[in-house]
Amino acid sequence: MQNLKAIARLYFIHIFAFLAVAISTYYPPWDIILSMLYLLVIGSEALSLREYASKSRYLIILAWQAPGIILFLLVISHTAIWDLSNYAFFIMLFWYTTLAPLLSLLPGMFWLGWPLYYYFLLALPFVMTAYHFVLSSRVQLSNK
Amino acid sequence: MKWKQFNLIIFPLLALIFFLLVASANRHVFNNEHAVMYTYLQNARQGHIGYGFNSYYANNISFAGLEPGDLILGGYPGCSYGRFSHAGIYIGNGEVIESFGDLGVNIQPIYHYWEYSEVCLLRVKADPAVKKQAIEYVQRYQGAMFYPLAFKNGERYWNCTKIMWKAYREQGLEFDPGDDFWVAPDLFYQSDLVEVIRERNI
C-alpha cells in the first residue's frame, strides 16, 4: 500500500507538471523554471523514500519510469507495426514534456544523422531512474 | 504547508494559473470555431488521431519548376488536423527543410513527399529576395528541437508549420491572420499569399 501511494504521488506530480510545463511554454522562459522545479519536486519525493526497503524503492522507480522505458524500447526496436516506432517518439516527446525545456537548450547539432535532443530524450528514462535512485539511496557514512 | 503537500499542489496550481493567463490573453482563439484545437477535437471524435495512416502512397508528383522558397504540403488519410499533416520549404537542389519529430529542423530530399496520399506545391507570392531571406532564417535553426505543441512564441521549439510561418513572418508575410495558437498546414493552402503550382490526391 505504501509503495502504491508513492507511485501514485509520482504519477500525479508528473501529469500535472506535464500540463503546467506544456502551457508555460507559451511564456518562455517560465517553462525552464518549471522544468527545474519539477526536478526539485521529484528529488524531494526521492529523498522521502530513503527509509524504504531497497526492493520497494526499485519497484517504485521502475513503475514510475515504465512508460518511458517501454517507449524507448519501441523507438530503438524500429517497430513497424502500426507505425509504432514513429508514434512512440512523438508520445515520448509528450511524456517527457516536463523536461523538454531543458532539452530545448541543447545546441542544434547533429550526430550520426540525429539531433542532440534525440539522444538525450532517449536517455531520459535512465537518467531519471538514476536521479531518483541516487537521491533515494541511504548514504552510508563510515567512522573509520 | 508541509513539503509533501506542496509537492502535490504546486503543479496543479501552476497549470491552472498558466491556463488562465493563456486563455485570457487569447479569447479570440477560443471563440474561433476554425481554430486548430477545435479542428483537432472534431476529427478526434471521428477517430482521426495524429497524422493519419502512414504508408507509401507513391503520388509521383512532379517537382519540376520548383523555386527556392516554395512550400510543399503532404498528408495521409485520416489526418486529425486537416487535409495536410506535414509541410516543408524548398531550398533548391532537390532539398527541402522541415521540422519533424525525431529529426528536429533538418534538410531532406524533396522526393520523400511522394509517400503522401495528398500533396501540394505552393508558390509564395513574394520577391525572390524575400524567399531567400526566409530560407536563411529556417537554415539558422537546423538541429533545433521539434515539439508537436510548439506555440508560436519563442524560438526553442518548432513544428513543421511554425518554422515556415515564422520564416515568412519575419519577412512581413503573415500566413495566420487569425492569430491562432498553432498554424495548421491547411492554412498555407488556403492563404491568399500563395498560388497552387500543382497538387495530387491519391
* Domain ranges, residue A86: 2-136
Question: Is pLDDT at A139 greater than 80 in this prediction?
Answer: no
What whole-number percentage of chain B has pLDDT above 90? 76
Rounded CA-CA distance A62/A37 in Å is 22
Question: Is pLDDT at A141 greater than 70 in this prediction?
Answer: no
Chain B environment of A135 (Cβ under 8 Å): none
Distance to chain A for B125, nearest Cα, Å: 30
Which range has the worst mean pLDDT, B15-19, B80-84, B168-172?
B80-84
Cβ pair B91, B68 in contact under 8 A: yes
For chain B, the average pLDDT equals 93
Chain B environment of A28 (Cβ under 8 Å): 153-154, 156
Rounded CA-CA distance B54/B75 in Å is 9
Q: Which residue has the higher pLDDT, B81 or B134?
A: B134
pLDDT in tens, B112-157: 999 999 999 999 999 999 999 999 999 999 999 999 999 999 999 9
**Sign of dihedral through CA atoms B88, B89, B94, B99?**
negative
For chain A, the average pLDDT equals 91
Bridge partner residues of B196 (DSSP)? B122
pLDDT in tens, A44-91: 999 999 989 999 999 999 999 999 999 999 999 877 666 666 788 999
Residue A141 covered by a domain:
no
Bridge partner residues of B120 (DSSP)? B73, B199
The domain tally of chain A equals 1
Q: How many CB pairs under 8 A join A and B?
A: 110
Residue A76 covered by a domain:
yes
Question: Is pLDDT at A8 greater than 70 in this prediction?
Answer: yes
The type of residue at B154 is: G
The three three-digit cell numbers of residue B109, written as one number: 530530399
Structural domains in chain B, sorted by start = 71-201 (3.90.1720.10)
Rounded CA-CA distance B162/B89 in Å is 12
Q: How confident is the model at residue A144, as a pLDDT?
A: 46
Q: How confident is the model at residue A24, as a pLDDT?
A: 97
CA distances to A34, B81, B124, B185 from B192, rounded to whole Å, are 40, 20, 9, 14
Q: How confident is the model at residue B54, as a pLDDT?
A: 77
Cross-chain residue pair A90–B50, CB shorter than 8 Å? yes
Q: How confident is the model at residue B33, as a pLDDT?
A: 85
Angle CA(B3)–CA(B6)–CA(B8) in degrees, nearest 5? 120
Q: Using CA coordinates, name the residue in chain B closest to A28.
A: B154
Rounded CA-CA distance B163/B87 in Å is 10
Question: Is pLDDT at B12 greater than 50 in this prediction?
Answer: yes
Cross-chain residue pair A89–B101, CB shorter than 8 Å? yes
Residue A126 covered by a domain:
yes
Residue A119 covered by a domain:
yes
Residue A142 covered by a domain:
no
- ipTM score for this prediction: 0.91
CA distances to A141, B16, B24 from B67, rounded to whole Å, are 69, 46, 42
Cβ pair A12, B8 in contact under 8 A: yes
Highest mean pLDDT among A33-42, A88-97, B2-11 belongs to A33-42
* Banded model confidence at residue A140, pLDDT cuts 50, 70, 90: low
Cβ pair B147, A104 in contact under 8 A: yes
Q: How confident is the model at residue A84, as a pLDDT?
A: 65
What whole-number percentage of chain A has pLDDT above 70? 91
Residue A124 covered by a domain:
yes
- Average confidence (pLDDT) over A104-133: 96
Q: How many CB atoms lie within 10 A of CB B122?
A: 22
Residue with grid cell 502512397, as numbered in its chain: B57
Q: Using CA coordinates, name the residue in chain A closest to B145.
A: A104
- Average confidence (pLDDT) over B100-119: 95
- Average confidence (pLDDT) over A89-116: 96
Question: Is pLDDT at A109 greater than 90 in this prediction?
Answer: yes
Strands A110-111 and A114-115: antiparallel
Residue B22 has its nearest CB partner, among A17, A23, A100, at A23
Rounded CA-CA distance A41/B189 in Å is 45
Choose among B157, B165, B141, B155: nearest CA to B73: B165
